[in-house]
């Protein structure tokens, strides 16, 4: 089976972001540092995240890392992470929305959209854009 999973990049906030997402989604979180992989010669980056992975319920897998200072890092809003499901998932998706909303900028409140689904958009406190869509069927 082939999977497609979001991989979020940060400069030095990956640990905080992954810990926050773990509090929202639950599951198992693993974090490996640059020091563990001898991946940076800059001692100030030793504890930064080389690779972090959150394996949540229902097959959710979210990965993230810190970008070393030696590499270009250009954060932006060209990408979003989408969470979607049906009516049976409404409670879980609403809980995820509420968790992600902590410290977020809500760009579209979670409400019934013109196409009939419940939909919302936000930018979380780490600058990651999220979309939540709950279908009516």
Q: Give pLDDT, residue 1.
A: 66
Query: Using one digit for the tens of pLDDT, what is the confidence trace for 45-87?
Result: 999 999 999 999 888 999 999 999 989 988 877 789 999 999 9
**96: CATH:** 3.10.180.10
Asked if 27 contacts 46 with a C-beta cutoff of 8 angstroms, the reply is: no
On whether both 84 and 59 belong to a single domain, the answer is: no
Asked if 77 contacts 128 with a C-beta cutoff of 8 angstroms, the reply is: no
Final residue belonging to a domain, choices 23, 40, 66: 66
Q: What is the mean pLDDT of the chain?
A: 94
Domain count along the chain: 2
Q: Give pLDDT, residue 51.
A: 97
On whether both 120 and 92 belong to a single domain, the answer is: yes
Kindly state the helix (H) or strand (E) to which residue 119 belongs, with its residue range: strand 118-123
Mean pLDDT throughout 24-28? Answer: 97
Range of the domain at 36: 7-66
Is residue 2 included in any domain, yes or no?
no
On whether both 55 and 11 belong to a single domain, the answer is: yes
Is residue 111 included in any domain, yes or no?
yes
Final residue belonging to a domain, choices 39, 66, 93: 66
Is residue 1 included in any domain, yes or no?
no
Residue 91: which pLDDT band, with cuts at 50, 70 and 90? Answer: very high
């Amino acid at each position: 089976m082939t999977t497609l999973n979001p991989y979020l990049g940060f400069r030095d906030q990956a640990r905080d972001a992954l810990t926050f997402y773990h509090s929202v989604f639950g599951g198992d979180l693993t974090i490996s540092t640059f020091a563990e992989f001898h991946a940076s010669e800059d001692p100030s980056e030793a504890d930064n995240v080389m690779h972090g992975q959150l394996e949540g319920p229902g097959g959710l897998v979210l990965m993230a890392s810190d970008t070393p200072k030696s590499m270009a890092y250009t954060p932006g809003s060209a990408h979003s992470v989408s969470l979607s499901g049906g009516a049976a998932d409404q409670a879980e998706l609403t809980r995820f929305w509420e968790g992600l909303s902590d410290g977020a900028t809500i760009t579209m409140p979670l409400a019934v959209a013109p196409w009939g689904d419940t939909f919302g958009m936000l930018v979380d406190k780490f600058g990651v854009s999220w979309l939540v869509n709950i279908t009516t069927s």
